[in-house]
Chains A and B, each alone.
Chain A
Amino acid sequence: MIQVKNLVKSFGSNIVLNGIDLSVAEKEVVVIIGASGSGKSTLLRCVNFLEMFDQGEIRLIGKTVIPTTTNLNKVREEVGMVFQQFNLFPHMNVLENVMEAPLHVKKMDKVQAKEKAMVLLKKVGLNDKALAYPKNLSGGQKQRVAIARALAMEPRIMLFDEPTSALDPELVGEVLQVMKQLAQEGMTMVVVTHEMGFAREVADRVVFMGDGKILEEAPPNEFFINPQNNKAKQFLNSIL
């Protein structure tokens, strides 16, 4: 579903991604971990073309995406993204947030969009909050709405950029639960996170990044029990 080849990206003189190769198969759940500044969020943002890269190639769903000629809006319809800061639309209620893109991007009719939105809100356990505004929701609820909003476009790939990092500890579980369910349903997912429990339990593969490179890639039980890379060992020691 995703093939990243030799991706290079720098901000000024600071090289953030220094030759990344990564592929993600259909229905695979890949968790990217690493210290802050290792480039993991930037990599995710490049996959959605929110960030433009300097060199390399990205193929999504079998097609090479060339930012200057490919219609990126169409690409993004297939790739949902969930942000650390939720980024819900504050001037719309929960239902309107979820209906917005189907209505105005897919031109779905209102009745159908509403029906679909309610199904998704039920799925994330927030159908009773449909008419609430984002500012009246807890962080965990906001993030679940954000997941429902992304799913409303029926993406084939979901990207999660530290989805629980801005949450109070007691609210992390409800968001991870929704993500876990999504993984079980066979969604192709790339998740940048610090939640090692989630990585261990849900990931098919753990990718460890450092200094703009992928330093180690392994199934979670191998990676957590017997990491090969020295930096990965240090990282795991410091957090576990």
Chain B
Amino acid sequence: MLIIVQIFLDTYDIFISAALLTLRLTITSLIIGSLIGLVVAFFRISTNKWIYKLATIYIELIRGTPLIVQIAILYFGIASVVTFSQFWAGALALAIHNGAYIAEIFRGSIQSIDKGQMEAARSLGMTYPLAMRRIILPQAFKFSIPPLGNQFIIGLKDSSLVAYVGMADLWGTGLSEAASNYRQLDTYMVVGIYYLALVLLFSYLLRKLERRLDIDSKEIS
């Protein structure tokens, strides 16, 4: 136990900057991933069968291969044609990966809205896009928050895999620290504590958001 505290005190400066990199990487990839997810979700509910197929192929490819393989392909394959910085290669790989899962979350919550809502909106003369934007999406977004939060936490933890293309994120830093101090178990436990702290922070923010959205829908009678 003392040794863990010792390692913690010896390394907190590099681990904190590593944690910030992990956080930056995660947030960037989740923002881009959410945008990808929203677009792909619309493709998935499209009546155009080619657009639908395209989105389905994307989702099946991403869900059907390990994230580490996707990161490696983007890093060693595509990055050799188009030059990305290491950070953007990692962030994009994570965004493309998370985008597939987020797309399914958005699709599910859009389709969970009663079809009477769309009919009522259309019967008032609203166009499909307007009805989507004003009536369906605000309701669907609320339903998507809990599964989205879950996916964000998974995304945060999965970002650790970018260590294998040489990034000094939390896990990457943990690997190199352990290789130099030979205290693998203790070092990895320290890394675990940092991840736990970040995940708890995410959970806290998500709970706050959920509670706020809930309050908006009720009250005043």
Contact = CB atoms under 8 A, between A and B. Distances in A.
Given A91-B139, A101-B125, A150-B124, A83 B219 contact: no
A74 B116 CA distance: 20
A153 B122 CA distance: 12
Contacts of B121: 89
A37 B139 CA distance: 32
Does more than half of chain B's interface fall in helix, strand or loop, or is it mixed? helix
A150 B116 CA distance: 14
A76 interface: yes
A87 B119 contact: yes
A164 interface: no
B116 A83 contact: yes
Contacts of A79: 123
A105 B123 contact: no
Contact of A104 (B120, B126, B217): B126
A213 interface: no
Contacts of B117: 87, 89
Contacts of A100: 124, 134-135
A81 B217 contact: no
A132 B219 CA distance: 8
Contacts of B135: 89, 100
A174 B20 CA distance: 61
A73 B123 contact: no
Interface residues of B, number: 24
A133 B127 contact: no
Contacts of B221: 129, 132-133, 136
A159 to B, nearest CB: 8
Contacts of B125: 73-74, 76-77, 101, 105, 153
Interface string B78-118: 00000000000000000000000000000000000010110
B166 interface: no
A70 to B, nearest CB: 13
A91 B116 contact: no
Interface string B194-221: 0000000000000000000000111111
Nearest to A137: B221
Nearest to B219: A133
A10 interface: no
A136 B218 CA distance: 8
B136 to A, nearest CB: 10
B178 interface: no
Contacts of A87: 114, 116-117, 119-120
B123 A48 contact: yes
Contact of A83 (B120, B127, B130, B220): B120
A91 B142 contact: yes
Interface string A88-112: 1111010000001100110000000
B72 to A, nearest CB: 43
A90 B122 contact: no
Nearest to B213: A91
Nearest to A159: B123
A63 interface: no
Contact of A105 (B120, B124, B142, B216): B124
Contacts of B216: 91
A133 B215 CA distance: 12
B138 A76 contact: no
A76 B116 contact: no
B220 A149 contact: no
Nearest to B217: A91
B120 A153 contact: no
A101 B124 CA distance: 6
B217 A133 contact: yes
Contacts of A85: 114, 116
15 contacts: A50-B122, A76-B123, A77-B124, A79-B123, A81-B123, A83-B116, A87-B117, A87-B119, A89-B117, A89-B120, A100-B135, A101-B124, A101-B125, A132-B220, A136-B221
Interface of A: 48, 50, 73-74, 76-77, 79-81, 83, 85, 87-91, 93, 100-101, 104-105, 129, 131-133, 135-136, 146, 149-150, 153
The 4 A-B pairs with the shortest beta carbon distances in the complex, nearest first, are: A77-B125, A136-B221, A87-B120, A101-B124
